[in-house]
Structure 1
Amino acid sequence: MLKKIAVIPARLEAQRFPKKLLQDLGGAPVIVRTYEAAVRTGLFDQVLVATDSKDIYQIIRQYDGKAIMSQKEHDCGSNRIAEAVLDLDYDIIVNVQGDEPFTNRGDLERLIQVFEEDKDHKVDLASLMHPLTEESEIQDPNNVKVIVDDLGNAIYFSRSPIPFVRDESVDIEFQKHIGIYAFRKKALMEFYKTAPTPLEMAEKIECIRYLEHGKKIRMVKTSNRSIGIDTPTDLEKARVLWES
């Protein structure tokens, strides 16, 4: 049986919405709601918050959660997670974004299932995507788009609309990448040893580095339209959804 851990990388000073993880959502901070959602799935041997913030560390501990302080500065979530699990014995590490408090069991279970069915270890990572239908959503650079091959493996991620539709008679479904993904520990540790690539830095999408180093990312479709809290507007939407 695969040993599984969920790690929530939590950086305090997000560029677009500083201290968003400490904002109130239904009576508790966003990061606490995300941690509780991951624990509530019952899928993991452990759930851990990896953070650069003493405030976040103390709040998670205040709610009887498990947290670890990063000892190094990190430019992406994967590196923060890699440091946290370096000496831990797990087969599958699931990255749950700290600003995704509506993560549900079904989606995480399907990510884990990818590895349970991958007996030949051909898949290095698994992640989620869902269709974008509104033109404003497709054009929004805050929505990372992904294109896949016939097997569902990622070909590329971009903040631009991909593919570019030159022939409008072709029926194309745009897919949004949801920033929740799982990886084999070996793939994560190999990523940790590499430097950011120009494409990764240009797009500000760390998954591109995995692709450039030949890693296979299996994308799993979901109908759940989770709200990632990137802006104050997103937070208001999340509060409405929380109360519904």
Structure 2
Amino acid sequence: MKLVIFDVDGTLVDSQQLIFTSMGRGFDAAGLTPPARDRVLSRVGLSLDRAVSELAPAAGDDAHRRIVAGYRSAYAFGRLTQHPPLYPGARDCLARLTARRDLLLAIATGMSRRGVTAMIEAYGLEGVFVSQQTADDHPSKPAPDMILAALSDTGVAAAESVMIGDTEYDMQMARSAGVTAFGVTWGYHAAEALRAGGAAQVLPDFAALTDAIEEWAA
């Protein structure tokens, strides 16, 4: 068996607008000026606590807590009213990979477990991911802990695993865990950053990604 590990935000789900809006609401709740859109999106992939600390380094712990609480409230409300869409081709890719007997699928994401559960329920992806690693249980990316936990859950060796992500944090996490990394260009970090982070391949769309995964698994 081989293991394919997916990031969520920016890889499977197009949550850009919801993340940016929610972060702005979090900063509003703390009485602070929200950061620019590109700064917010550049931190996607980190755990929420770490992202907030980097976006507001001069703010104290209390302000950070208010930003985090405001973000979570806004994100939960936004998810209930209009869940962010899957990227074009994501569902077909997951269906094709799930149909194979030699592959297992997992998630390693900076999202909360609650957010992952809501995403899976919203898109009918129950049973697709045999291991779901979230920011609730592990240090922020690029620490390798999420991938190491997925390897432990599935019993698959690092050499037989690949991480799919859209940020250099995903690529660095994969490299630290000793697994292959594939970057995708439709998310939050540029192709150059993905390659610098350690991507073995950088793919432009889900059709190309699916082919690359199947070639890797052959």
TM-score normalised over the length of structure 1: 0.35
Larger relative helix fraction: 2
TM-score normalised over the length of structure 2: 0.38
